């Protein structure tokens, strides 16, 4: 047996065991990577597909940590969450760095309007690079539809104040510490649900169709 096929076999076994142990991961894969999962079941996955599945599993394994991160994004970032919850930024960062995510759930639930049980549910998690790219794609689609765009930008600039230059970074898909705050403000001004700009474009388009 070649080294290549050995690596492929080891990956296949490892991934299959993880899916058996974690039903939530299996459900997420079925929803997000159905073709890959089908190939896995039929022993047809290429090494690149197996690596993609393993990366997906690694990213989505820690539900609580991921959901707390999503909750902070929905709040507009750490600074805005601090302002809305009354918890000092330093304390939020301490809890995040020490892995005490549970201690933030109650406050995040109040700020985001979610039930506390929401934070224990399995859902797809995207890293910051992916989120920045989603915002870029979704805003590119929206910008051409905004009536009187200069007036829109002027209003946005007034609301953003000293961080207004970061709007351009969001448009470009660059990562910025103010990305979540800008995203939530844009959604508020445009009248779309909080977090919509953080979705992949196909899901974002479905959200827009629901409010048309």
Q: Provide the domain limits for residue 39.
A: 3-60
Domain identity same for 161 and 96: no
Identify the pLDDT of residue 211.
Answer: 67
Domain identity same for 100 and 28: no
Token match 């001004």: residue? 189
Domain identity same for 71 and 107: yes
Identify the pLDDT of residue 110.
Answer: 98
Domain identity same for 144 and 202: yes
Domain identity same for 207 and 135: yes
Question: How many structural domains comprise the chain?
Answer: 3
Which domain-ending residue is among 72, 99, 120? 120
Q: What is the CA radius of gyration of the chain?
A: 20
Identify the pLDDT of residue 159.
Answer: 92
Domain identity same for 132 and 199: yes
Domain identity same for 36 and 72: no
Contact criterion met (CB below 8 Å) for 134 and 200: yes
Q: Is 125 helix (H, G, I), strand (E, B) or coil?
A: coil
DSSP per-residue string spanning 37-62: HHHHHTT---HHHHHHHHHHHHHHS-
Provide the CATH number for the domain around residue 80: 1.10.260
DSSP per-residue string spanning 147-197: TTHHHHHHHHHHHHGGGTTHHHHHHHT---TTHHHHHHHHHHHHT--TTGG
d(CA 105, CA 53): 29
Which domain-ending residue is among 26, 41, 60? 60
Identify the pLDDT of residue 24.
Answer: 86
Which domain-ending residue is among 15, 35, 60? 60
**Would you give per-residue pLDDT tens digits along the chain (212 residues)?**
344 466 678 888 889 999 988 888 999 999 999 999 999 998 888 889 999 999 999 888 889 999 999 999 999 999 999 999 999 999 999 999 999 999 999 999 999 999 999 999 888 899 999 999 999 999 999 888 888 888 998 999 999 999 999 999 999 999 999 999 999 999 999 889 999 999 999 999 998 887 66
Identify the pLDDT of residue 2.
Answer: 40
């Amino acid at each position: 047996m070649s080294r290549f096929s050995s690596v492929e076999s080891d990956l296949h076994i490892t991934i299959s065991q993880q899916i058996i142990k974690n039903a939530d991961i299996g459900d997420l894969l079925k929803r997000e990577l159905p073709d890959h999962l089908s190939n896995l079941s039929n022993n047809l996955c290429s090494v690149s597909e197996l690596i993609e599945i393993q990366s997906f599993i690694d990213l989505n394994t820690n539900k609580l940590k991921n959901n707390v991160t999503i909750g902070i994004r929905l709040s507009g970032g750490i600074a805005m969450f601090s302002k809305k919850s009354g918890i000092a930024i330093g304390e939020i960062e301490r809890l995040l760095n020490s892995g005490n995510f549970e201690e933030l759930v109650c406050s995040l639930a109040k700020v985001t309007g979610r039930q506390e049980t929401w934070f224990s549910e399995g859902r797809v998690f995207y890293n910051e690079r992916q989120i920045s790219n989603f915002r870029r794609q979704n805003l590119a689609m929206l910008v051409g539809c905004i009536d009187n765009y200069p007036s829109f930008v002027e209003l946005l600039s007034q609301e953003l104040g000293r961080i207004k230059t970061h709007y351009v970074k969001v448009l470009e898909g660059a990562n910025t510490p103010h990305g979540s705050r800008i995203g939530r403000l844009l959604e508020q001004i445009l009248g779309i649900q909080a977090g919509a700009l953080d979705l992949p474009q196909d899901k974002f388009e479905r959200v827009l169709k629901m409010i048309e």
